[in-house]
Amino acid sequence: MVGIEHDRWVNAFDRVAMIERKSDLLKPRLLPRKFHYASRSAWSTGAGYDTLPQDQQPQNASLGQVRTRLRAESLLIGKFDVDAEVRLRAFYPKPGLSIRYQTGGKTNGVTRTVNAHKKVHRYAPNLMPTVREHGTILDGRGAFLIEETVKGETATRTELETLIVPLTQQLHAVHQGVGIADKKASSILGQRARERWEDFVKLHDLDPQLHQKVKKLLDRDALLEVSLTHGDLVNSNILVDEDDFVLVDWEWAMMKPIAFDLSKMIINVPDIDTTLRNVQTGLGEVGTRKSHYSFREQVALALVQALTFYKRQLHRARKAKRLGPLKRQTTKRVNALSKLLEAA
């Protein structure tokens, strides 16, 4: 997103001020200070700038300035900030805390993160950041949480190869604690999955053999194992600090097929087969029973589901001006799907 409008930033600062006034952890600031902003980032101090994710630290001069009374030292507006109400993060370097804020009713990402935290911390206490406080503003329309800021850098491909087994072992502990259910594919993908797949095929130059394999896979309507999943398991959400790692950004956490958690990662790994073996080592016996899709097939179904919602993703990408990333991601999904089903 390039050049967020000044009024949008004023709105973002206002929301953070509301949260600071309501919070028991954060004290409002009495004196105003200057914030610089550029692209999706705003900062008032060097420490605040350093707390921003490295890929969101603007290298050029700021595009604008705002004077405001905030205890926060930096803000980051969400990359899919396309709704009427702003979605954001705010950072507090000295106490090591950060705010997440967005709207969206009972299914918004903040609420999903808080609900996941209650379960994950019980069964894998070091797997996700600690949520210290949560609540709402704007008569319940806006939800926020305050969590401990995690130190670390995004996992490299080499680090991911080492971490994938212990990471999935901790996820497996969560699955066992929360419980694992068996569900048919049609109850997860929906009755119109086959129709949506046909729509996707019409919009893309797809290999006819791959098309037939996907139809055959959908028609089987076998079982999948379902439990609490992270929902966005990609390298950038795995932070590494020396020998420790934390899985962050749980805003898509929900009850879904366990294998679906791998779908976003699998499109970026150089060796799909090795990654599948490593993940299944950590996750246990997912996809090993005859009544179920194999683990490989379950990951393929996750990619099929994502591709069948291409029209919805296209609309959202246009609003957020992210058509390029969507095109690249769609190509990666199709290539990974082809690899997963090549032996079918």
Over the stretch 82-126, which tens digit does the pLDDT of each residue have?
567 888 999 999 999 999 999 877 778 999 999 999 999 999 999
pLDDT at 63: 80
Q: Which segments of the chain have a pLDDT < 50?
A: 1-2
Q: Domain 6-148, CATH 3.30.200.20 — does that match?
A: yes
pLDDT at 344: 65
pLDDT at 22: 95
Q: Are the beta carbons of 80 and 317 closer than 8 angstroms?
A: no
d(CA 72, CA 51): 11
The CATH classification of domain 153-340, taken from the options 3.40.50.280, 3.60.70.12, 3.90.1200.10, 1.10.1040.50: 3.90.1200.10
Q: Are the beta carbons of 59 and 7 closer than 8 angstroms?
A: no
Which residue ranges make up each domain of the chain?
6-148, 153-340
Same topology for domains 6-148 and 153-340, yes or no? no
What would you measure as the largest C-alpha separation in the chain, in angstroms?
66
d(CA 187, CA 183): 7
